[in-house]
Amino acid sequence: MLNPDGVYLGNYRCSLMGFDLNRHWQDPSPWAHPTLHAVKQLIVQMNQDPKVSLEFYIDVHAHSTMMNGFMYGNVFEEEEIGQRQAVFPRLLCQNAPDFSLSSTSFNRDVVKAGTGRRFLGGLLDDTSYCYTLEVSFYSYLTAGSTSPVPYTEDGCILLFLLHWIITLLSKIYVWNLKFKVNQMLLEYVSQENTFFNFKTQCLIHT
């Protein structure tokens, strides 16, 4: 938790000093935003360490007006990066009945420039995935139902832990499968090139 003092006072958005911490990632103050400053420094150090591979940054928030769980992601110039970033929310939607893919969006709103998702999305390389996960304060709707199901503290935590584990395993499986397919294609292309070169050499020699 990056806002222990504010939460202790009953704030769900502002810190003890009244700052919205998720708008100060670009230049956090060690005095005014100490937790943010420390976490940012840690992530920067990890990103510069060749032994560390940062796969995900996920900022978890509660949403006061919308229902279900959903995500915000970043927009990229390269379409392939954007497609890769969309895989995780889609897998989460398949595994979590309370996750809404229709409420999930990818944007670069100016007002969100100081968020962790936006700042770290520009800092980390394109193999790291940065998201904001929003979960309703109140309830969620499942597919085909019009009756909202209230979130409970224990139920929400257990539900999301289970779904996140399943989704992460699914993503690892997808990555491994994609890697194997790519390897097979590379081997096939390599064999075809070898065969082509062999035929070419035979034609030249004859």
pLDDT tens-digit series, residues 64-119:
999 999 999 999 888 888 888 898 888 888 878 888 999 999 998 888 999 999 99
DSSP 3-state of 141: coil
pLDDT value of position 118:
94
- Assigned domain for 3 exists: no
- Assigned domain for 128 exists: yes
With a cut of 50, say whether residue 129 has pLDDT above it.
yes
- Assigned domain for 29 exists: no
pLDDT tens-digit series, residues 131-182:
999 989 889 998 888 999 898 876 665 566 666 666 766 666 555 555 554 4
Nearby residues of 74 by Cβ (< 8 Å), 6 or more positions away: 85, 106, 107, 108, 117, 118, 121, 130
- Assigned domain for 25 exists: no
In Å, what is the CA distance from 54 to each residue of 57, 63, 98, 180? Answer: 8, 26, 27, 22
- Assigned domain for 171 exists: yes
- Assigned domain for 30 exists: no
Q: Find the catalytic residue in 77, 80, 134, 187.
A: 134
Which of 76, 80, 103 lies closest to 92 in space, CA to CA?
103
Beta strands in 64-177 (DSSP E): 69-73, 105-106, 129-136, 139-140, 149-150
pLDDT value of position 82:
87
pLDDT tens-digit series, residues 6-42:
999 998 889 999 999 999 999 999 999 999 999 999 9
| Euclidean distance between CA atoms 161 and 159, whole angstroms | 6
For the entire predicted model, the pTM comes to: 0.76
Domain extent for 197: 58-102+123-205
Q: Are 117 and 57 in contact (CB under 8 A)?
A: yes
The question of whether 80 is a catalytic residue gets the answer no
- Assigned domain for 27 exists: no
- If one counts the domains in the chain, the total is 1
What is the greatest pairwise CA distance in the chain?
A: 87
- Assigned domain for 73 exists: yes
- Kindly list the strands in the beta sheet with 69-73, ordered across the sheet, starting from the edge strand earlier in the chain: 56-63, 129-136, 69-73, 105-106
